[in-house]
Amino acid sequence: MCTFKLIAVSDYGLYRKFGGNGTLEEYAEFLAKLAAPGKEYLPRREANERGTDVPVRKANGRGKNVPVGKANGKCADASVQEKFPKRPDMLIVREKNLPEEAYLELFGRIWNLLGTIKGPSALLIPHTHLPTAHKTGCPSLHLPLSLLKTYRREPAFSKNNNLLSEVKHIGVSIHSLEEAKTAEELGASYLTAGHIFATDCKKGIPPRGTAFLEEICQSVTIPVYAIGGIHPGNLHELQKTNAAGACMMSEYMKLEMDIAENDR
* Least confident among 81-95, 170-184, 214-228, 230-244: 81-95
Specify the amino acid at residue 89: D
pLDDT of residue 14: 94
Domain boundaries, the chain: 5-263
Q: Quick check: 74 pLDDT over 90?
A: no
Q: Which fold has domain 5-263?
A: TIM Barrel (3.20.20)
pLDDT of residue 78: 40
Which is higher by pLDDT, 153 or 24?
24
* Least confident among 13-17, 28-32, 59-63, 139-143: 59-63
Q: Quick check: 241 pLDDT over 50?
A: yes
Contacts of 243 (CB under 8 A, 6+ apart): 4, 73, 76, 213, 217, 224, 225, 226
- Going by pLDDT thresholds of 50, 70 and 90, the confidence category of residue 153 is confident
pLDDT of residue 170: 98
* Least confident among 32-36, 53-57, 172-176, 207-211: 53-57
Using one digit for the tens of pLDDT, what is the confidence trace for 130-150?
A: 999 999 999 999 999 999 999
Counting every residue written for the chain, the total comes to 264
Q: Quick check: 223 pLDDT over 90?
A: yes
Model pTM score: 0.81
Coil, strand or helix at 192: strand
